[in-house]
């Protein structure tokens, strides 16, 4: 049910008309519903949309759904053959295959191709593989204290066989939240969630001092279909 609710939110939050959303997903207009309360159970048409999108690899066409989320849901919820690359998976592949302690700071095309090349051909097996590699990175092949003695890939690990050479790439910074675009987006959305209706631009300006970052974050929220810019210059959550 959680999966269906997420898709319902993505469709419900879109600024696209139902007919246009249907066109983008290759459906008839009456197969898409974007109306209703956020607290209600998603209608059957949305479940149908979800299944078709998963089958056609069109999850990323939904507003607010990126490559990682699309791959994770298609793999874990529907047993599709997709490479799911989170930080833990990238670290395991970097050590076992590439022979370096840590992956690049940002995901590369080469990493995606490597992950895809290692996937088992059978989709359900590939889905289990993705879960296993993710758990291996989270519990055994950790960032700071890898438990190599407990790793099932210890005999094949290129990094370990090379003597565990230390990372010599660009300085790595721990993940932070304060001051990030993510925090800024959250502040802007909080203003809209707690408002009784559309809000003036000044209300959004008040919650974040950095003008460039605030405008960038607001533009991203609009692009993702999470905020509606109204004709009168005010802003609101999608209806």
Q: Which domains does the chain have, with CATH numbers?
A: 2-65 (no CATH), 87-161 (1.10.1670.10), 181-236 (1.10.10)
> pLDDT for 45-91, tens place per residue?
454 555 555 554 566 666 667 778 888 888 887 788 889 999 999 99
- Counting Cβ atoms within 10 Å, is residue 232 exposed (0-12), middle (13-18) or buried (19+)? exposed
Residue 146's CB is within 10 A of a number of other CB atoms, namely 21
CA 186, chain centre distance (Å) = 16
> Torsions phi, psi of 227, nearest 5?
-135, 140
- Counting Cβ atoms within 10 Å, is residue 79 exposed (0-12), middle (13-18) or buried (19+)? middle
Please state the three-class secondary structure of 46-101 as a single string: HHHHHHHHHHCCCHHHCCCCCHHHHHHHHHHHHCCCCCCCCHHHHHHHHHHHHCCC
The CB-side HSE value for 94 (13 A sphere, CA atoms) comes to 25
Q: What is the DSSP letter of 199?
A: B
> pLDDT for 142-179, tens place per residue?
998 999 999 999 999 999 999 999 888 777 666 567 78
> pLDDT for 207-237, tens place per residue?
999 999 999 999 999 988 899 999 999 999 9
| Of 42, 45, 77, 44, nearest in space to 59 by CA | 77
């Amino acid at each position: 049910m959680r999966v269906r609710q997420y898709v319902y939110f993505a469709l419900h939050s879109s600024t696209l008309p139902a007919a246009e959303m249907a066109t983008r997903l290759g459906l008839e207009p009456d197969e898409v519903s974007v109306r209703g309360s956020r607290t209600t159970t998603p209608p059957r048409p949305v479940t149908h949309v979800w299944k078709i999108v998963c089958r056609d690899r069109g999850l990323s066409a939904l507003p607010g759904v990126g490559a990682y989320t699309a791959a994770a849901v298609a793999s874990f919820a529907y047993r599709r053959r997709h490479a799911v690359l989170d930080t833990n998976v990238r670290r395991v592949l970097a050590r076992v295959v590439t022979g370096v302690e840590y992956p690049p700071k940002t995901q590369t095309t080469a990493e995606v191709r490597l992950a895809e090349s290692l996937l088992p051909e059978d989709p359900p097996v590939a889905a289990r593989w993705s879960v296993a590699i993710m758990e291996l990175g989270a519990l055994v092949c950790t960032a700071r204290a890898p438990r190599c003695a407990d790793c099932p890939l210890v005999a094949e690990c290129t990094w370990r066989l090379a003597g565990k050479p230390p990372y010599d790439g660009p300085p790595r910074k721990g993940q932070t939240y304060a001051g990030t675009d993510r925090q800024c987006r959250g502040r802007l959305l909080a203003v809209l969630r707690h408002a009784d209706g559309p809000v003036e631009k000044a209300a959004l300006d008040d919650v974040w001092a950095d003008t460039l970052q605030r405008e960038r974050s607001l533009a991203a929220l609009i692009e993702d279909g999470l905020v509606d810019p109204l004709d009168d210059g005010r802003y609101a959550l999608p209806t």
